[in-house]
Amino acid sequence: MTTQLLQEATAFLWTEGDMLDRREYSAWLDLWSEDGLYVVPVDPLETDFFNSLNYANDDADMRRLRVERLTGGESISVSPAPRTVRQISRVRIVGEEAGVVTVRSAQLLSEFRKNGVRSSAADVEYRLLRAGPGFKLQRKVVRLVNADDPQMIVGFIY
Amino acid sequence: MSMQPENTVPALRPIELRRNVADLVQPDRVHTSLYTDPALFQAEMEAIFHNTWVWVAHESEVPEAGNYKTHWVGKQPVIVVRDRKGQINVLLNRCRHRGATVCEGKKGKTNSFVCPYHGWSYAHDGSLRGVPAPDSYGDTLDKSQYPLISLRTESHAGMVFATFKQDIQPLRDHLGPARKWIDLFMKQGGGYPVKARGTHRFRFPGNWKIQLENTTDAYHFPVVHKSFLSSVDEQTKKVFNFLGNPGFVEDLGNGHSVSVMIPELVDLDADLDLPIPGRFEALAAALREEGHPEEQVRRIVRAVGGTGFNLNIFPNIACSMSFFRVLQPIAVDETEVHHIALTMEGGPEAANQARLRLHEHFQGPMGFGTPDDGEAWERVQKGVAAGTDLWILVNRGLPGEVRTPDGLKSDVSAETGMRGAYREWLRLMTA
């Protein structure tokens, strides 16, 4: 694994995280490949996201609908919208196969809406599809450290 | 809060506003303190949760000998475990020696429950099997006297309930007319047994009864769930237009009630020749492709979206369209909710995946529905800090209410179910 690939992948992860914190959702949607999958599983050890229950299992349609929900002004749980700041670190290139780079990272996210700051920690796995000079996001799996414990309601995208 | 010992009769204790408990529930309203008074909350845990049947599991959660799940009855932690005879036992999760929990997993499989502190071990039926180094006890430790405490346990259609009250009426009688609605609910197996398949757990800062009320509250749906309705196709939106449907709410007695939002989806085995809704056409095609006969395709597809009603069983469980909603009171102003997703055991993978995706679409902390419910409930708890001697109105639908063989019935957005629940609340709190 080259340092350059680590830098390129990390730059992509940071860009993606920055877009989500700034709620630049339409730019975020454009980061994805059409067959991309965004998943937040209930069981942090889950590998079969289709035959198990997740908090989110979003294909392209559901990602678009989720963004509409978060920005459409019809949802009382995102009015006002939460503010988030996330740190993405401990980035590791896990491997590359057939033009898909698998990356793992740590994500610490702080959120404020109206009742104080809440924090979450997650191990996030990305599959980045090489596309021209950059990447398209093909899979993002957010494994919350407390995924199988009670959650509070979520008005943002991890 | 007072420092009275816990075994005094809490229902008779005057609460903050010096009103008697009996005065807090009127036929058309309930007092704000039902959401806010910590003393009342303590009293409820005893007078309600220790004196009625409390749901603890669906049998599919503990399918084989040694399968267990941990849960609560009121605030008391319990283990629900199936033994080698196939019987489901509900045991207090507390070692009889010095009190440690003997099981910490949410679910799993085990041969025995071994206390981590001194190694006392218990069988699936709760009996004390052995204690390490027993010599020090001489002949003073009669093991038969120290099993894990076992609760009276009964079930209906796979729904397992437990109770601390040994002389309570049988579950069958307690459920009464709710039984036939449970049976209707289970038809969403589409010919297969209903299986619990994963749980969304979340908490909201509000009293448990705010959520209890919500289960038979069709009135809130078009207001709170606008963003969900905007995310579905026009045909589905029409189906979810509850207030425009000829549904009803019926009080079934003993605090139970049913809200029929989509009357045409009450009996999922009926009307199999109706056109397949657009949103399920791809699923129907996939099932045909797999070689299922047309009648089975139609039965599965009709069942896949769940029933057209919410059945509220007092105090802690609802059969809610396509999932189980479990209520767990944490504090007067904090409640944990479990949304248990259901699938068809042994059914087609495509149908079960569709069920899981539908659950994720609405339910849970990242669903398109639940977070807005959570916000509304939180707002209630915040709001009732104002006007502490005001009342919560539950009078909607009173003028149109009629008596039925099963109880009382009114229009789809009536608060008839809530009134029934509060009548049972009052009966238990003043018993």
Alpha-carbon distance of A35 to A101, in angstroms, equals 16
**For residues B196 and B58, is the Cβ–Cβ distance under 8 A?**
yes
In chain A, residues with a C-beta closer than 8 Å to the C-beta of B366 are 40, 55-56, 154
Measured CB to CB, residues of chain A less than 8 Å from chain B are 40, 42-43, 50-57, 62, 65-66, 68-69, 72, 74-78, 115, 148-155
The domains found in chain A, sorted by start residue, are 3-144 (3.10.450.50)
pLDDT at position B278, please?
92
* A53–B199 C-beta distance less than 8 A: yes
Does the distance separating the beta carbons of A42 and B356 come in below 8 Å?
A: no
ipTM for this prediction: 0.97
Taking an 8 Å cut-off on Cβ atoms, the answer to whether A51 and B204 are in contact is no
CB-nearest partner of A53 from B205, B341, B372: B341
Distance from CA of B132 to the nearest CA of A (A): 34
Give the nearest partner residue to A50 out of B228, B353, B367, using CB atoms.
B353
Distance from C-alpha of B151 to C-alpha of B167, rounded to nearest angstrom? 12
**Any residues with CB less than 8 A from the CB of B53 and at least 6 apart, and which?**
B154, B161, B162, B163, B168, B171, B174, B175
CB contact under 8 A, A75 and B227: yes
CA distance linking residue B121 with residue B128, whole number of Å: 6
Q: What are residue B258's DSSP bridge partners?
A: B250, B311
Tell me the average pLDDT of chain A: 96
Instruction: Please name the residues in contact with B144: beta carbons below 8 A apart, sequence gap of 6 or more.
Output: B127, B128
Closest CB to B224 among A51, A54, A76: A76
Under DSSP, the state recorded for B205 is S
B352 Cα to chain A: minimum distance (Å):
7
* Interchain contact, B224 vs A57, CB within 8 Å: no
* Of A153, A113, A20, nearest in space to B363 by CA: A153
For helices B349-362 and B294-304, angle between their N-to-C axes, nearest 10 degrees: 20
- The per-residue pLDDT for B4 is 45
Query: DSSP character for B136?
Result: G
- For chain A, the distance separating the N- and C-terminal CA atoms, rounded to the nearest angstrom, is 27
State how far the Cα of B148 lies from the Cα of B91, in Å rounded to an integer. 6
Q: List, for residues B291-312, the tens digit of each pLDDT value.
A: 999 999 999 999 999 999 999 9
Residue A104: HSE in the Cβ half-sphere, 13 Å Cα cutoff: 6
- Contact between B292 and B348 under an 8 Å Cβ cutoff? The reply is yes
In what helix (H) or strand (E) does residue A93 lie, and over which residues does it extend? Answer: strand A83-97
Torsion of CA B385, B389, B393, B399, to 10 degrees: -170
The yes-or-no verdict on residue A48 having pLDDT over 70 is: yes
Contact A153 B376 (CB under 8 A): no
Sequential pLDDT tens for chain B (431 residues): 344 444 444 444 445 556 789 999 999 999 999 999 999 999 999 999 999 999 999 999 999 999 999 999 999 999 999 999 999 999 999 999 999 999 999 999 999 999 999 999 999 999 999 999 999 999 999 999 999 999 999 999 999 999 999 999 999 999 999 999 999 999 999 999 999 999 999 999 999 999 999 999 999 999 999 999 999 999 999 999 998 889 999 999 999 999 999 999 999 999 999 999 999 999 999 999 999 999 999 999 999 999 999 999 999 999 999 999 999 999 999 999 999 999 999 999 999 999 999 999 999 999 999 999 999 999 999 999 999 889 999 999 999 999 999 999 999 999 999 999 999 999 999 99
Strands (E), B227-370: 248-253, 256-260, 309-313, 317-320, 323-331, 334-344
Nearest neighbour of A69 by CB, restricted to B205, B227, B336: B227
Closest CA relative to residue B67, chosen from B80, B55, B54: B80
How far does the CA of residue B146 sit from the closest CA of chain A (Å)? 32
Secondary structure (3-state) at B228: helix
Nearest in space to B211 (alpha carbons), one of B22, B70, B337, B353: B337
Shortest Cα distance from A135 to chain B (angstroms)?
A: 27
Chain B residues within an 8 Å CB radius of A152:
202-204, 365, 374
What is residue B12's predicted lDDT score, i.e. its pLDDT? 45
Nearest CB to A42: which of B198, B224, B375?
Answer: B198
pLDDT value of position B9: 46
Task: Kindly identify which residue of chain B lies nearest to residue A73, measuring between CA atoms.
Answer: B227
Q: What is the pLDDT of residue B19?
A: 77
Radius of gyration of chain A (CA): 15
The residues, any chain, with a CB within 8 Å of residue B136's CB and separated by 6 or more, are: none
Average pLDDT over residues A107-131: 96
